[in-house]
Amino acid sequence: MAGERKGLSAFQRALGSLERSAVTARRSRGLHASRREAARQASELGARLDARRIGDWLNPKDGRAPHDPDQVWALVQVWRAWEGKKPEPREREDWNALVQAARPRRPAARPSRRAGPGRPIREWTPRELNVHPAIEGTGSPLPFLPAYVRRAHDAVLERLVATVEDAAVMAVLVGDASTGKTRALWEVLRALPDDWRLWFPFGPDRPESVLKGLPDVGPRTVVWLDDLQRHLLTPGKKDGERVAAGLSTLLGDRRRGPVLILGTIWPGDWATLFGYASPYEDPYAEARALLSQRDVPVPSTFPRPDLDRVRAAAADDPRLAEAVKHAEDGHLTQYLAGGPALRAVYLHSPDPAARALMDAAIDARRLGHGPMLPKALLSEAVHGYLTRPQWDRLTEDWQERAFRYVTDDGPCRGARAPLTLVRVLPDEDGEWDSCVRLADYLEQFGRDQRRTEPVPKALWDSLMRHARGSDLVKLGRQAQERGVYRYALRFYADAFDADQGATDAMLWSGDLHAIADRLDDALHCYRRAAENGDEYGWVKGVRLLLDAGRSDEAVRWSDEAVRAEALDAASQVADLLTDAGHELTAMLILRRAADAGSAEAAARIGEKFNDSEPESDAIGFLRIAAEGGYEFALRVVAERLLHDEGMDAAVAWLRKTPNGTAVIAELRHAEGDHTGAISAVLPLCEDDPTLVRLAGPWLVAAGRTDEAIALYQRVVTPGGAETPREATVRESAVRNAAELLHGTARTREAFDWLFSLAEHGDSVALDQAEQLAMRTQSEDVLIAWLRPRAEAGDSAAVLSLAGVLRGIGRTDEAIEVCTGHDSAAVLRYHGDLLVHRGEKTAGLARYREAAELGDAQAIGLVVTLERDEGRTEEAILWTRERVAAGAGEVALRWTIDLLLGEDRTDEAIDWLRDRVLEGDVGALGWLANLLRDEGHTQDALAYYLQLAESGQAAPETDAPDAGALARAARMLRGAGRDGEAERLVRYGVEPGGHIAGAR
């Protein structure tokens, strides 16, 4: 725990010192300076940061370590700019090292005499672990699973498993439905020894199941997290973040290993975790820190070399033979899982009610309802998917007939039917009775089909009647993001009534009331959140009151926050009060918070009045701050003690404070006691690797270069599981060790060491080896190491080798190296080489191949080359084809740019209408904007509202001008329709695309 606290305190000291310097400098120029303003500017750099998170980082009493180095770096850039300085060349590395060291090192688990959760690995069956059954074959009985053909991701998994040893390793397969993710993990299990266990935390509340069993996980255990999003995506509650933190604890504790954590997730859910829309909230920070660099992509198709191996295996398995013969474009796993049959059952249902049941199930899932769908929920929503004549023609037994159709697995030949009845085991929760589950493949296919389809009112109403538990917050958030505010408020209210810990539901409710100028209702919601432990409720309430000019109430709220011991909030509300011109009141709030134990408040007071207050008063606050870990206060007090009472007194006091030992070492070094400083800091490097940046240079300056090299190399462990916390420290250590080896005439040793790291996939080591080779003109050494790996098909080695060869003028060899490799990155680089040599036609062909493999950059290269050669029409036709093939926003944007550049606006509009009918959400926004620009206001409004109902309403109080509703409102105001614009902003829409009114 001491090492853990030292890492966090070191970060807090550095960041707190920078903040104070930056704020002082900015205010001295008469400019506004607050954490909210810093967060706003950092968000403009893409950091998605808010003042609350900065306060979490800098709270010395109960501070939270940052999880995203990019957020910290953006903040550092802002504060350096406030100081009027530019960051130093290697400053980012230093901050990254501080961030990684601040992450907690978890305590070892207590040994247990009993077995951990789960059961022996050989007792599990693939069906129990959700491995999809395959279509049934003809002839003699076949095994449950068809023969397995390894692909690139299997090799990645194999390498990861080989590194488990005594550590913990995590891998998450990211891929679309029915692409073989779970089957690939099953093959991993088969390669493990028999004495391993497997734990599959399963139940109605998966996060709770994980949290309950995670502390007891012991060595030689596989933690099976199929559908990982169900464990981590818990909007409105902190359970997902607690699960992520618990898994990080397990990964960071080598004494509990070996442990293997395996998960699967869809790309859309992965994108949600890594791309949260609001710049002022970060609900998935722990999850991102856990998952960073642990994804293993699983392709949706089998490339040509893999298909050849499937054909060979198909000789003994008629199911594979059938899939090879009939699957489209290499989609073998989808065919085997019954994908084409599911599509046919869905698209060609002869019963409108059966199709409506499937549509309702798809919509319920895309709105966030859990996988267990009550039959009543679906049947009560059916009428919203039917026309009146279709509804009138239904027979009395329509429900029985429709459910029989959608639960019949006959057309799927043994694979999962569109909806599967859930059978409740004796020891399971009875709440799953009378539920069905939607087939994964149909869920994803249906999401794509219905992306631009509004959710009918009938389903929203049915969800209000039947949804329970954590689903309520997810549904509320989806309703808010789709602009149907009335339903959002009802879901949030029910969620909070059911669970007082769902404070985000109250915060988001408050935001919606604030948007509609219902200030007292908003304040009521913020207070409920605050009184149930969410300090951000106080901050939001104070901000709202100040913005409304109700300063006296804002001060009372601030006082209440301090009395409620919401000390993190106290500092933030003090910033708000200062920004509003109430500086004396803000200082009073800080004093009260400091008296209540807030080291952050004490630090800010101590810094502000260090020179102007009576010394004893200032020193008193500074001592509180220092004992809370604030670096500037630690140094000020230590320097005064050093000046007044000498080194012994300063050292004695520092030893009683967090991180005092590191400061002692720096003081001794500054006083000339270099040997004593080194002796003091070296033992700390084990628990706080960031101190290597002090110890290393000190050792070199003392002539102890070999010790410095050994120190840096100890930080770098080749292979093995690497936590995000370790990554940045390793990068710096790799560079420093290599430089010292080269500087002491041990260049060959430097290469050998770097190559040993690169052999385990260390890209930093390979990059350093390339730089060293160029600097020492030792390219042949690098080429000799890269060539056999490139010839073995390693794409990274191909790119590196081709780049080195091109850099020394051997372009023809570089082209030869790239020839025959089919990874997108290699194909694009191959195209670059060919175009550079003047072979534009051949280069264009490579660019097209790369684009067809999903390389977005290659799309722009194709368009640019075609247009430069006067072939704009060919470029338009090609980009349209890429859009139709699912190439996404880049191809869509290029098509529109090309058409508008040719003054073919009407054609662009007609094409976009067709794309919307095909379910292209990206086309909706472009179409609405073009119609608006052409003066077709009513037509544009319809598409803006459809865009909102597809999930892009973006009603955030902190970003009121973003999203479809804001764009529609601006257009309406421009057309003189101010009343409609005001209603749209305040009340959102009703299902069906109508502007809502006051209720």
DSSP 230: H
- Round to whole Å and give the CA distance between 467 and 475: 9
Instruction: Say yes or no to pLDDT of 496 above 80.
Output: yes
Question: How far is 612 from 276, CA to CA, in rounded Å?
Answer: 44
Q: Which residue has the higher pLDDT, 787 or 652?
A: 787
Q: Give the 3-state secondary structure percentages of the chain, helix then strand then coil, rounded to 5.
A: 65, 5, 30
Kindly tell me if the per-residue pLDDT of 303 is higher than 60. Answer: yes
How sure is the predictor about 110, in pLDDT bands with cuts at 50, 70 and 90? very low
Token output for 527: 């207070």
Contact 999, 960 (CB under 8 A): no
Task: Please list, in sequence order, all residues whose beta carbon lies within 8 angstroms of the beta carbon of residue 718, skipping any fewer than 6 positions away.
Answer: 756, 757, 759, 760, 762
Identify the residue with better confidence: 109 or 264.
264
Alpha-carbon gap, residue 827 to 742, rounded angstroms: 35
pLDDT digits (tens, 9 = 90+) for 245-301: 889 888 877 778 789 999 999 888 888 887 754 444 567 878 888 888 888 998 888
Least confident of 297-301, 332-336, 349-353, 510-514: 332-336
Most confident of 260-264, 409-413, 619-623: 260-264
Question: Stretch 808-815: mean pLDDT, rounded?
Answer: 94
In this predicted model, what pLDDT tens digit does every residue of 505-516 receive, in sequence order? 999 999 999 988
Cβ distance 204 to 372 under 8 Å? yes
Distances (CA, A) of 474 to 235, 456, 738: 6, 18, 50
User: What mean pLDDT comes out for the span 426-440?
Assistant: 69
Task: Give the pLDDT confidence of 316-329 residue by residue, as tens digits.
Answer: 788 888 777 777 77
- Residues 893-937 have pLDDT tens digits of 999 999 999 999 999 999 999 999 988 888 999 999 999 999 999
Task: Tell me: pLDDT of 1 over 50.
Answer: no
pLDDT exceeds cutoff 60 at 768: yes
pLDDT above 50 (res 597): yes
pLDDT value for 109:
38
pLDDT, average across residues 68-86: 79
CA distance 66 to 639: 29
Tokens (6 digits) for 942: 């319809």
Summarize the confidence of residues 628-657 as an average pLDDT.
79
Strand ranges for 95-189 from DSSP E: 119-120, 168-174
pLDDT of residue 33: 72
Greatest extent of the chain over all pairs of C-alpha atoms, in Å: 95
When the pLDDT of each residue in the chain is averaged and rounded to a whole number, the result is 84
Give the residue with greater pLDDT, 651 vs 264. 264
**pLDDT band, residue 62 (cuts 50/70/90):** low
Judge whether residue 529 has pLDDT over 60. Answer: yes
Q: What is the spatial distance between Cα 66 and Cα 99, in angstroms, rounded to a whole number?
A: 6
Listed in sequence order, the residues at least 6 apart from 792 whose beta carbon sits closer than 8 Å to its beta carbon are none
| Sign of the CA dihedral with 688 first, then 690, 692, and 695 last | negative
For residues 158-173, give the mean pLDDT.
81
Q: Say what the pLDDT of residue 50 is.
A: 66
For residue range 542-569, list pLDDT tens digits in order. 999 999 999 999 999 988 888 888 877 8
| Average pLDDT rounded to a whole number, residues 102-114 | 46
Length of the chain: 999
C-alpha Rg value of the chain to the nearest Å:
31
Q: State the pLDDT at residue 278.
A: 46
Distance CA 920, CA 565 (A): 50
The Cα–Cα gap between 884 and 249 comes to 45
Q: State how far the Cα of 873 lies from the Cα of 852, in Å rounded to an integer.
A: 19
Q: Tokens in use for 145?
A: 């699973």
Q: What is the mean pLDDT of residues 494-520?
A: 91
pLDDT of residue 833: 96
